[in-house]
Amino acid sequence: MASNFRISVHRNSQSLHLKLLGDFDGSSAHQLLNVLKNKSKGTARVFIHTSCLGDIHPFGQGVFQNNLDILKGQTVPLVFTGEYASRLASEKNSLVSILS
């Protein structure tokens, strides 16, 4: 994992907010996928805030986008926000949207 990567997790009402901080690589992608899988149950929406990311490694981006299928069976919409929202969001997933 990128040594400076962290995920800040905050819940309010029925939404889960994940603020991504640091550099995003393959290990960071797996960490984000695990948080989504384990913490999104019982939420109406998950916001993934990307403005505090540094470098987004193409490998990490690919790992994340290609493994979103681990959320199969969960119908929680993912809403990406911030400067890097369009780089992390996968167009293949119908439950993904981007807020500018």
At 83, which CATH number? 3.30.750.24
Tens-digit pLDDT profile for residues 37-80: 888 888 899 999 999 999 999 999 999 988 887 776 667 888 99
Q: Is 26 a domain residue?
A: yes
Domain count, the chain: 1
Q: What DSSP line would sit under 16-65, residue for residue?
A: EEEEEEEEE-HHHHHHHHHHHHHH-TT-SEEEEEEEEEEEE-HHHHHHHH
Q: Is 94 a domain residue?
A: yes
Q: What's the pTM value of the predicted model, to 2 decimals?
A: 0.88
Q: Is 48 a domain residue?
A: yes
Q: Is 12 a domain residue?
A: yes
Q: Is 1 a domain residue?
A: no
Domain of 28 in residue numbering reads as 6-99
DSSP 85: H
Across the chain, mean pLDDT equals: 87
Q: Is 92 a domain residue?
A: yes
The pLDDT of residue 95 is above 70: no
